[in-house]
Amino acid sequence: MLLLLFLLTLAVFFLFNLLPFDPARLTCGKICTPALLEANRHRLGYDLPLLQQYWNFVSGIFVGRTFAGEGTLPGIVCSAPCLGYSFLRHEQVLGMIVKSFPVTFWLTVGGFVMWITTGLAAGIYAALRRGRWQDRTLMGIALIGYSMPSFFLGLLLIFFVVLTWHLVPFPSFAPPEQDPVRFIQTMLLPWIVIAVLNAAFYIRLTRNQVLETFSEDYVRTARAKGLPERVVVVKHALRAGLTPIVTAAGLDIGYLLGGAIITESIFSLQGMGQLALSSVVNSDLPVITAVTMVAGAFIIFANLIVDLLYGVLDPRVRVG
Amino acid sequence: MAAVAREAPEGMITMVEPADKPFLSVDGLAVQFPTEDGLVQAVDGVSFSLEKGKTLAIVGESGSGKSVTAQAIMGLLDRRLAQVSGEVWVGGDELLGMRPAQVQALRGARMAMIFQDPMSSLHPFYRIGDQIVEAIQAHRKVAASDARAEVLQMLKRVGIPAAERRIDAYPHQLSGGMRQRVMIAMALINSPELLIADEPTTALDVTVQAQILELIADLQAEFGTTVIIITHDLGIVADVADTVAVMYGARIVELASTKVLYGQPEMPYTLGLLASIPRMDKDPGERLEPIPGNPPSPIHLPKGCVFEPRCRYSNLTHGLSETVRPDLLPTGAGPGHLVRCHLPPEERRRIAADVISQMRTVAVEQ
């Protein structure tokens, strides 16, 4: 786990520093002279060997960094944990991430609740009605949802729900503790977009898992005990087939916490995805690096959680 | 095994049955599975009856329809995939015509089943105690603590050592024999009147097989349970069964009391099965006598006698066995001894005597 995180920072750092643009150039502004450029490069540490830069970056996470002032430019202190400093926006990258994260967090949580409930419910229902028209209809809807581009669905929703029918005002994020009504109004459509895209996959997964475990001997035992079909399906068949669903859900959550670029852009939500996008557009290297690392860390973390959940779900995995 | 009149007079839907009606009676049971390759005839007109507290062994090789018969009785076949017809009477109720919810209420309560592989038949994610408690609470309103006490008692009864500890074990923490004891405990927890054991010892070590059979017999005596044991192993049947039904190609081909079946078998297939049992008193170097050929495809069952293609005596029927399906008819040799065979009775008995004396001669020569 720690090794993975270390490898992640290493890979991301070197990957982005191999890109052929000069971060010092961005700090230089319009009246750039070669001397000023060189001075900036030196001040920001971009003239050091790459390995030294990497060390500065990593140690900055634990002890913070300072960039010396020079001439009219004030010195910059980036306190620990320092994930870098955006010289373009004159902000600590960590602060930018902390500001963006709640939006992404709520987007992920709400979307997850919607997709997992509809995915499980519709998947179980399709499995129970396998081969009949209900099953076929659901699978058809799932296929459409699966292949629907998120920007298309998002724009459709905005066009009809917001602009034509005026059911909700135009999205503008408010934290749930400040303005719960506006929070829900804003997040509802993004949630639906996230949920539709993911639920489609979970309907199919749940249906297949339930159908697979249906032929297991212990499901037959459950029926032989005289349990109602509902209990047989949920407590015995679905419970046994839950592992792949939990795995997929964990990874999807980890992935989404790193930012849903398209969905956030369409609904102008200032989340992690937007942060990543704008930093890429502006070639803001410290931000790109940090956001990518944080997104990667979420996936590693999600993996760890999933591994721990295996032990909870399957007693055979538990040790000792 | 005499046929019993059981049709209620027209218009009477009461469950009043003649007092002499056997506890279990299966009449003309047929199960078909429509598949893409054609109609699979898994069970074709199986009829038998069984008195309370007795044991019937259904013997046959894989695909003979014995397990499907059991699952049809339990109502475990998916009625969307299987076409089931005939009648199954258990304790005065006809099951095949019942609503699924009614059969579900009987399953696990009046009739219970144990399966071949106890590892895969127990849910891997739940503690065995909880799985048995679930069986209790599916049928009776019992407080969790009382149910647990009942489970503990039953686990002790089926011979699980350190039951206080094992009740919280997961299936993978137990040995095969222990798991099958757990399955038996789960099946008997609601004191069912009918217990169906589908190859209960096949997946177990040879040393454990006898213990499990003995346990089933003990519990049967204690609870007065009617038992159907399904097996492909004629060797284990002799000690436990009162009656034996030999199945082949979706049908019963011979039905007799255990004593008659081992002493005076008549159907050539039964003879083949008996001759292929390994015996301690035979010369170790001697080869077992296999039945030549393979079981018939359940999609294309032979037109005549289902065993005809593999029967070495079929030429003695003058072609009858190739075209006409024989009925399951009394032999007259013993009460309830039925055989499905075109061979003339005296011919059958001569052949049987030959085969049996051959088996004995080999034994005597040692």
In chain A, ranges of CATH 1.10.3720.10 domains: 94-313
**Nearest residue of chain B to residue A313 (CA atoms):** B125
Fold that domain A94-313 belongs to in CATH: MetI-like fold (1.10.3720)
Interface test with B, best of A128, A209, A225, A318 (most B CBs within 10 A): A225
Q: Does A220 touch chain B (CB under 8 A)?
A: yes
Q: Does A225 touch chain B (CB under 8 A)?
A: yes
Interface test with A, best of B36, B79, B117, B121 (most A CBs within 10 A): B121
> What's the rounded mean pLDDT across residues A12-39?
76
Region of poorest pLDDT, from A21-30, A194-203, B37-46, B83-92: A21-30
Chain A partners within 8 Å of B102 (Cβ): none
**Helices and strands counted in chain B (H then E):** 13, 12
In terms of Cα–Cα distance, which of A236, A223, A214, A124 is closest to B138? A223
Mean pLDDT for all residues in chain A: 86
Q: Does A222 touch chain B (CB under 8 A)?
A: yes
Q: Does A230 touch chain B (CB under 8 A)?
A: no
Size of interface A-B (CB pairs under 8 A): 71
User: Inter-chain contact B125–A228, Cβ cutoff 8 Å?
Assistant: no
Q: Where residue B233 falls among pLDDT bands split at 50, 70, 90? A: confident
User: Inter-chain contact B115–A221, Cβ cutoff 8 Å?
Assistant: yes
Which residues touch A151 (CB under 8 Å, ≥6 apart)? A262, A265, A266
User: Inter-chain contact A217–B113, Cβ cutoff 8 Å?
Assistant: no
How far, CA to CA in Å, does B214 sit from each of B66, B69, B117, B208, B239?
Answer: 22, 24, 18, 10, 9
pLDDT at B11: 43
| B201 in Cβ contact with B193 (< 8 Å) | no
- Domains annotated for chain B, with CATH where assigned, are 24-248 (3.40.50.300), 251-280+288-365 (no CATH)
pLDDT tens for residues B279-297?
Answer: 766 666 666 777 888 888 8
User: Inter-chain contact B139–A221, Cβ cutoff 8 Å?
Assistant: no
Most confident of A21-30, B66-75, B269-278: B66-75
pLDDT at A29: 67
Interface test with B, best of A213, A218, A230, A235 (most B CBs within 10 A): A218
Q: How far A310 CA sits from the closest chain B CA (Å)?
A: 11
Backbone angles phi, psi at B319, to 5 degrees: 85, -10
Chain A partners within 8 Å of B113 (Cβ): 224
The minimal CB distance from A218 to the residues B107, B122, B170 is found for B122
Assess whether pLDDT exceeds 90 at residue B57. yes
Neighbours of B141 (CB within 10 A): 7
Q: Kindly provide the ipTM of the predicted complex, given to two decimals.
A: 0.84
Assess whether pLDDT exceeds 60 at residue B364. no
User: Inter-chain contact A221–B117, Cβ cutoff 8 Å?
Assistant: no
Instruction: Name which residue leads in pLDDT, A25 or A236.
Output: A236
| B112 in Cβ contact with B188 (< 8 Å) | yes
Q: What is the pTM of this model?
A: 0.81
